[in-house]
Structure 1
Amino acid sequence: MEILSPGQKIRKIRKELKINQKEITGGEITRELISIIENDKSTLTPTVAHIIADNINRICKERNIDFNLDTEYLLEDINAQTNKIASRYIDFLCNNEDNISKDFTKDIEEIELFLIKYDVPEKKMIIYEKIGDILKKQKVFNRSYIYYIKAFENHNRLFNDIRLFNLLQKLGGICIYLGKDKEALDFNNLALVYNNTIPEDLRYKVLYNNTLAYMHLNEHDKSLLEIEHIENTFKTLTKENILELNVLKVNCLRYKKFYSDALNVNKSMLSTLSNDDTESIILITANILDIYTVLKDMSNIKIYIDKLIYIISNYSKAKESYPCPNAYNQLGISTKLIGNIELSIECYKKSIQLAKSQRNRRVLLKSLDQLLTILIEENNLEEINTFKNEVLELISLNIIDPSITPVLKLMKFYSDIGSQENLSSLLNFILECKKD
């Protein structure tokens, strides 16, 4: 990709066609003017561009050179060319954003180099946001976050503009995925400050993400206040909106230890669901199992373990199902409580595999930590070594960070049992990954 000023184009064409400056004047302009234009010390006017193009075309015809120069091409300056190329990049990203199996690495590198070299302020935000969208669809959430940040840094003073609100909403959402809950609140609240008239569906997404962030931060009263605000403010909440708000409300009640209220709301929701709404049934059944597990109600724990396993086992879309990784995590906790260690380990492994596939970092970290705890308690060295290899793969894929608790716990275990070989291999692998 070569971007040239009008003067640079003239010089390049002359050199390639072996035409001197005097020949392209045609006696109508001076050679000195050509020289000034070629050195970018004077702007090329349409009149002069027309004269130069006509003379070059005439010379090519006389010399039987197959070449034709267009005046418009000569007049197109660097800004026009860079904007045209930037538009092509935007079109490319838009046309391919649903191709989640495509490797965009080289395309993104090319676009990045272009944006570093040329300033296209009107299009930078759009390009970076589109890259962020693609990476989010590919579940590469950490890189998606980086490009959304770049888009925000290049928002070009779009205050009180729906485009900025939409970007801030995406940033808040991606922060939730990455466990950056305080940062999510910052972006969400910034969006609400800068935008007064925005579509209700976008405002709902921001406020809903606030309730999620508060819940993850264990600020359950604030989360409940946000839910109440949404319920009282929004005129047209969908059935899905009402369900997800009630699920959040139930989780807050559970963590505030209002177990009876949480159970009643869960069972009420479950009774209203249609039989084909398997995703919601899995989610709510797992929440009920969680409450019975906290209460150590062994009879109901066994009933709901069987129910949940049956539902998931007969669900053809379990691998892609958002609630399934957490449901398996809950099964791991509950089956351990009733003493079925073998089944607990199996459930944690399934949770890890699904969370890994979906890049569900929150559930992945929980399940890794809880599985390792069981394996250490059982002193199952063979399984622990297999666990270590799984962790190393997750680190190499940038799905988890080497500093997470399960990795540190694994190091301590190898140190405690004097397994220098395993400890060294773990540390060396992490150091090699850091170099990359």
Structure 2
Amino acid sequence: MEFLTPGERVKKIRKMLKMKQRELQSENITRGFISMIESNRTTMSRETASIIAEKFNKRARELGIDLNIDGDYLLMTPAQEAEYYCIQKLDQINTLEDLNELKEIFKIADEYKLKRVTALAYIKIGDVMYKNQHFQEAFINYHKALDILLLNNIKEQLPYVYNMLGACKVALLESPEATMYFHKALEYAEEINDIEIKIKASYNNALCYRYIGKPTVSIDYIEKCLSVLDKEKDFEHYVYAKSIEANSYRDMKEYDKALEIFRGLVEEIKDNNNPLLGFLYTNIGEIYMEKNDFEKSMEYLNEAEKIRRKEDKNLLSHTIIEKANLYIKMGLYKEARSLLEEGIEISYRNKDIEYIVKGSYLLAEVYKKLGNKQAIIETYKRLANILQNMGSKKETLKTYIELALLYIENNDVSNAKYFLEKSREVIEQKTIKK
């Protein structure tokens, strides 16, 4: 790809539009001056470039050509044009197949020493990998971008990259490590006043601190999130944020406070078919389950299931796995098994790692109650395979150890040794230094 000096660019566009040099003349811009610009013997001021750009745009409109350039475009150096070109190309990359286009971008960025473009290319790989749920690969590429941004003191993308590094860790069920990245995302978001990342990183930190058993810290972060979140513009995000607050109170056994928040959210939703109701009813059902009010729990979980089977099938697995958990507590193991099998299959299709893990452990518990050891082993083997493919080291290690213990109970030394060796491989896998 050829990138031009300002003079070369003016000459190329003029010839493309079949214009003569004299047609670019105006007050204080002579034909001789145009000739000097095109031969790189003089430079243009911003005012001159804007006048020439408008003449080009006018001729393009007459010819039915969509040109729409400005003076800044005409004044670009070759390096600036190369950066502009690369960024336009990056915007067109959205799928795994599109990633092949990045070879050219990396080559151009290297030739013109465009560090920001190189970082943006790695960010794009991270985004595509994350979208396709290849979370470990996404993490690696976001980290490559981070190293370049920090080394070259490029701050604009830092809040986003730190937030996505944390999001990858959450997706890999590594919440304690994720908090470090969300803290840094907030730090840089405050510095450059990135409101969007302030909201996302505060929300994500709240979620993580709830997962690691620090509900009061979680509530603090949700308050930060809600202080900058526009409820009217992003009601769905508001509902999810308030739900973390409610569930943090639930974790502290303040069930009435949690239910009060959830019921308030339900009242704010006027449409009885809104998929958010499936989410809220599921959470309310879980709270009643913890209160051992199984009748109320079943009532809400049934209502959530009805809504999600109709309006929100991708998240149906969450509701029916929670309902299966209720059946387990009620001693209805066969009913639980049926729901878990369906819920896990949906989770596998969606690569929903959190509920694949939760559903699989519950299914193993059911098979244990039913006395089916082989089914437990098969459940863990399938779980281990997807966890390994997704790069979730901690959960993979935990599953291998469970399998080793099961084979030890069966006096199967060979298979026990095999899964202990697999455990060692996971422990010895290299990780990126933080």
TM-score surpassing 0.5? Answer: yes
Percent sequence identity over aligned pairs: 17
**Pair 1:256-2:248 in alignment:** no
Are 2:106 and 2:121, in contact at CA under 8 Å, matched by a contact in 1? no
Partners of 2:391 and 2:344 in 1: CA distance = 12
User: Which residue of 1 is the match for residue 410 of structure 2?
Assistant: 417
User: Which residue of 2 is the match for residue 201 of structure 1?
Assistant: 196
Cα deviation for residue 304 of structure 1 reads 2.8
Residue type of the partner of 1:126?
L
Are 1:90 and 1:130, in contact at CA under 8 Å, matched by a contact in 2? no
> Any stretches of 5+ residues in structure 1 without a counterpart?
2-45, 47-79
Residue type of the partner of 2:354?
R
SS at match of 1:218: coil
Q: 1:154 aligns with which of 148, 159, 178?
A: 148
Q: 1:219 aligns with which of 211, 214, 218?
A: 214
Residue type of the partner of 2:344?
I
User: Which residue of 1 is the match for residue 68 of structure 2?
Assistant: none
Are 2:279 and 2:304, in contact at CA under 8 Å, matched by a contact in 1? no
**1:390-409 per-position Cα deviation (integer Å, ceiling 9, x unaligned):** 23541563354474433322
User: Which residue of 1 is the match for residue 27 of structure 2?
Assistant: none
**Pair 1:95-2:89 in alignment:** no
Q: How does 1:16-415 map to 2 (within 5 A)?
A: 91-97=88-94, 99=95, 102=97, 104=99, 120-155=114-149, 159=153, 161-194=155-188, 195-232=190-227, 238-275=234-271, 278-315=274-311, 317-319=312-314, 321=315, 324-395=316-387, 397-398=389-390, 400-401=392-393, 403-415=396-408
Partners of 1:134 and 1:377 in 2: CA distance = 42
SS at match of 2:149: coil
Identify if the C-alpha distance between structure 1 residues 342 and 110 changes in structure 2 by more than 3 Å, giving closer, same or farther. Answer: farther
Partners of 2:201 and 2:384 in 1: CA distance = 35
> Any stretches of 5+ residues in structure 2 without a counterpart?
2-39, 41-77, 430-434
Identify if the C-alpha distance between structure 1 residues 340 and 144 changes in structure 2 by more than 3 Å, giving closer, same or farther. Answer: same
Partners of 1:413 and 1:382 in 2: CA distance = 9
Partners of 2:134 and 2:407 in 1: CA distance = 31
Cα deviation for residue 278 of structure 1 reads 4.0
SS at match of 1:314: helix
**1:20-69 per-position Cα deviation (integer Å, ceiling 9, x unaligned):** xxxxxxxxxxxxxxxxxxxxxxxxxx9xxxxxxxxxxxxxxxxxxxxxxx
Partners of 1:361 and 1:201 in 2: CA distance = 26
- Name the TM-score, length of structure 2 as normaliser: 0.68
**1:173-200 per-position Cα deviation (integer Å, ceiling 9, x unaligned):** 3333223333333223223333434242
Identify if the C-alpha distance between structure 1 residues 395 and 223 changes in structure 2 by more than 3 Å, giving closer, same or farther. Answer: closer
Cα deviation for residue 357 of structure 1 reads 3.1
Identify if the C-alpha distance between structure 1 residues 239 and 128 changes in structure 2 by more than 3 Å, giving closer, same or farther. Answer: same
User: Which residue of 1 is the match for residue 67 of structure 2?
Assistant: none
Cα deviation for residue 432 of structure 1 reads 9.7
Cα deviation for residue 413 of structure 1 reads 1.5
Name the Cα RMSD after superposition. 3.8
- Name the TM-score, length of structure 1 as normaliser: 0.68
Partners of 2:402 and 2:358 in 1: CA distance = 13
Cα deviation for residue 124 of structure 1 reads 1.6
Aligned residues: 352
Are 1:93 and 1:131, in contact at CA under 8 Å, matched by a contact in 2? no
Say which is worse superposed, 410-419 or 112-121, in terms of deviation: 112-121
Residue type of the partner of 1:121?
K
Partners of 1:163 and 1:395 in 2: CA distance = 30
Residue type of the partner of 2:383?
V
Are 1:122 and 1:156, in contact at CA under 8 Å, matched by a contact in 2? no
